[in-house]
Amino acid sequence: MKLVVTGGAGFIGSCFVRLALRERWAEQVINLDKLTYAGNLENVTEVSDHPGYSFVQADICDEDAVNRLFATESPDAVIHFAAESHVDRSIHSPDPVIRTNVNGTFTLLEAARRHRVPRFIHVSTDEVYGSVDPPHEADEGYPLHTSSPYSASKAGSDLLALSYHTTYKLNVSVTRASNNYGPFQFPEKLIPLMISNALEDKPLPVYGDGQQVRDWLYVEDHCRAVFAVLEKGALGEIYNIGGNCSLPNIEVVRRILKATGKPESLITRVADRPGHDRRYALTNAKLTRQTGWHPRVNFDTGLMNTIEWYRRNQEWVRRIKTGEYRHFYELNYTNRARELA
């Protein structure tokens, strides 16, 4: 099988690329990535010399580049991870989020239709269901209720992808995963931010009361689920992917401090995220029933692996936490503690 993986230099896409070649899910993997602030070719060093791996630097909104690639390579499937993925950035500047997540997905779908790509997996998120009140869990038919420009853009692109199945019979499936964590995650997201700040003895900024609940999914489990959908998923269907591990943010932060041997005094309460969803919760039942997939890595093990990885890869973190990162950090956090007071 020959796969085009979009966003293969990012956190989850790079894990998929590494696993796809390591576990021989595919003979050839073409990584299509623009290399935005979140794209990092160091994430795919493991496969850079693999004969089945190639890299194309392009924007998924670039019609010519995408069409050229699909025409010359005739891939068997497109696995579409590329996105602007950070909720806080989408609140500060929605522009690139709408462009990449909506227009970029549209460009890929059109090119896949034109070049008759046999299979298209659109990777999405549980954020499209919005906050889910306890004790409910969202299944794939749960109403969409988006709060941020990011989640709205993902919901829009999900619907667009599904419309290409209904209208043009493009063989699309949509996956909706919960919060991922693991090695190589950009340190703007909760777990890598808290681990890297703790290791540097810096404050750990917790939004609002810290009682917001997320369901944590180890990144390799997510990638295995996406592959299960590629292999066995039904066309035109949506599949939820959750980690069966719901925790309030403050509990996650406390576990990180305990595991790194750092004091709880590093926790700094800061102003809440505007439109912050209180609780994400979803059921995996459909995916497990239809493909046999279930999460393999429990949170304690996954968190230990992740902390160990960040401990051993402080140079990787240091290279990221330079100019652009510092600018965003100031924008997002500088006045936040004061706003709360």
User: What residues make contact with ligand DAU under the rule CB under 6 A?
Assistant: 85-87, 125-127, 178-179, 189-190, 193, 205-207, 212, 214, 249, 273, 280
DSSP E strands in 155-230: the ranges are: 172-177, 179-181, 204-207, 213-218
Residue 190 contact among ligand DAU, ligand NAD, none, beta carbon within 5 to 8 Å by kind: ligand DAU
Which helix H or strand E contains 129, and what residues bound it?
Answer: none
Total number of residues shown for the chain: 341
Nearest to 20 by CA among 5, 9, 34, 32: 5
State how far the Cα of 262 lies from the Cα of 341, in Å rounded to an integer.
25
Interaction of residue 144 with ligand NAD, rule CB under 6 A? no
To the nearest whole angstrom, how small is the minimum distance from the Cβ of residue 311 to ligand DAU? 20
Radius of gyration of the chain (CA): 19
To the nearest whole angstrom, how small is the minimum distance from the Cβ of residue 339 to ligand NAD? 26
Count of positions on this chain that bind ligand NAD (CB under 6 A): 30
Residue of 30, 69, 112, 177 that binds ligand NAD (CB under 6 A):
177
Q: Which one of the spans 175-183, 251-259, 270-278, 296-304 is the region binding ligand NAD (CB under 6 A)?
A: 175-183
Residue number with CB closer to ligand DAU (100 or 212): 212
Q: Which one of the spans 5-13, 205-213, 294-302, 309-317 is the region binding ligand NAD (CB under 6 A)?
A: 5-13
Residue 149 contact among ligand NAD, ligand DAU, none, beta carbon within 5 to 8 Å by kind: none
Beta pairing partners, 100: none
Residue of 4, 5, 7, 193 that binds ligand NAD (CB under 6 A):
7
Interaction of residue 179 with ligand NAD, rule CB under 6 A? yes
Determine the residue with CB nearest ligand DAU: 125
State how far the Cα of 291 lies from the Cα of 151, in Å rounded to an integer.
27
Active site (catalytic) residues: 126-127, 150
Interaction of residue 187 with ligand NAD, rule CB under 6 A? no
Site for ligand NAD in 310-329 (CB under 6 A): none
Residue of 129, 186, 280, 316 that binds ligand NAD (CB under 6 A):
186
What is the Cα 302 distance to its own chain's centre? 16
What are 140-146's contacts with CB under 8 Å, separation 24+?
140/176, 140/237, 140/238, 140/239, 140/240, 140/286, 142/282
SS (H, E, C) 46-96: HHCCCCCEEEEECCCCCHHHHHHHHHHHCCCEEEECCCCCCHHHHHHCCHH
The 3-state DSSP class for residue 185 equals coil
DSSP string, 287-298: HHHHH-----S-
Residue 81 contact among ligand NAD, ligand DAU, none, beta carbon within 5 to 8 Å by kind: ligand NAD
Residue of 125, 146, 148, 284 that binds ligand NAD (CB under 6 A):
125
Interaction of residue 39 with ligand NAD, rule CB under 6 A? yes
**Residue 169 near residue 181 (C-beta atoms within 8 A):** no
Residue 193 contact among ligand DAU, ligand NAD, none, beta carbon within 5 to 8 Å by kind: ligand DAU
Around 232, how many Cα atoms within 13 Å sit in the side-chain half-sphere?
A: 11
Interaction of residue 81 with ligand NAD, rule CB under 6 A? yes
**Residue 107 near residue 92 (C-beta atoms within 8 A):** no
Question: Footprint of ligand NAD on this chain (CB under 6 A)?
Answer: 6-7, 9-13, 33-36, 38-39, 59-61, 81-85, 100, 104, 123, 125, 154, 177, 179-180, 186
